[in-house]
Structure 1
Amino acid sequence: MRRTIGWLAAAAVVTLVFGSLYIAFQQSGRRSANVAPAAAAAAQLQLLGTSAPAVPRVELTPDSGVFVIVYGTDDNPETGTATLHGVLPVVPSGVLDTARRSGGDAVTWQPEPGLRMAVIARSSAGKVVVAGRSLAPYEATDTLVMAYLALGWFGCVLVLGAGFAASVLLGQRQRQPGIT
């Protein structure tokens, strides 16, 4: 019985290690998705109040790059570099409220099914600059990391299972009379 508990404890430790690795990689990847939008929001905040040149707009897609949208004091978009179905998209008012109250907010925004964005909101003078980017590349990497870690975990559990089976078989052979 003690031998079984030892092998089960080893399997639990392996599971915890691989689970912790997955969480660490997933969180690291998700947080890195905020880096470019944070830089874009900071740059746009410096331009508030100046007459910035008009920038062509792109449609938000899972492949779209970094976008910036400036919201006025009435929570309506004033200007931006991206559209959703041809119009400037509107983030949830809670994001804008939190940015105004605390100076900033960082959320995952899903404007429609299949379109998830890492969004950074920063406020200045009553306006809120929202910058974001698609999470599709990060989610694809996350899926790949999970597959690799699952394979590694399965391999370790398989080796532990084989070791346990071998120890049980050897233990039975040693208990049989006449076997050395």
Structure 2
Amino acid sequence: MVVFDTSFLALAFDSGYKAPLDPATGQPLTQCVERINGLIAHLNSSKQRILIPTPVLAEYLVEGGPDKDKRLQIFANSRVFSVASFDQRAAIECAMLEDGDSKKKKKLTPAETKAKVKFDRQVIAVAKAHRAHSLYTGDQKLADRANENGINAILTWEVPLPLSAAQLKLNYEAEDAPT
């Protein structure tokens, strides 16, 4: 079982969602949608479930504005996606997470908020409670925290391009044809 964060859901289902920057190039990640769709197809064909923690679902629905029902139907009618609650087991996992922030009283960076840290912990706790082995995210801090807690984090730009999308496309026009 794997977990998707909000950015992966948005990339998969929202055509207007912007691709993240590829740290190797500093440019938007090329063929981002193809990467995500290829990943979903691969997970589906290998009969892997994609877990959506309820905190992620809530954030995804909020971003959807008036399309909330449409967004919910994606998961309600899917055999690939499964929504998982932040329940008692997840709450126990959340309390047990090894996190230096609370022990060292480390100040949060400007990019972090207490709510963000709590959100990340809840996502990781749901993943651990459901024994997910991987977390797909576009958030480096969430990835780092997941890795620290035994969950393999894969960042958006690390998702390989599927072979079908990686093939070269020739721009061949009739006027370029040899005579």
Q: What is the TM-score with the length of structure 1 in the denominator?
A: 0.29
Task: Name the larger-Rg structure.
Answer: 1
Q: What is the TM-score with the length of structure 2 in the denominator?
A: 0.29
Greater relative contact order, per chain length (Cα 8 Å cut-off, separation 6+): 2
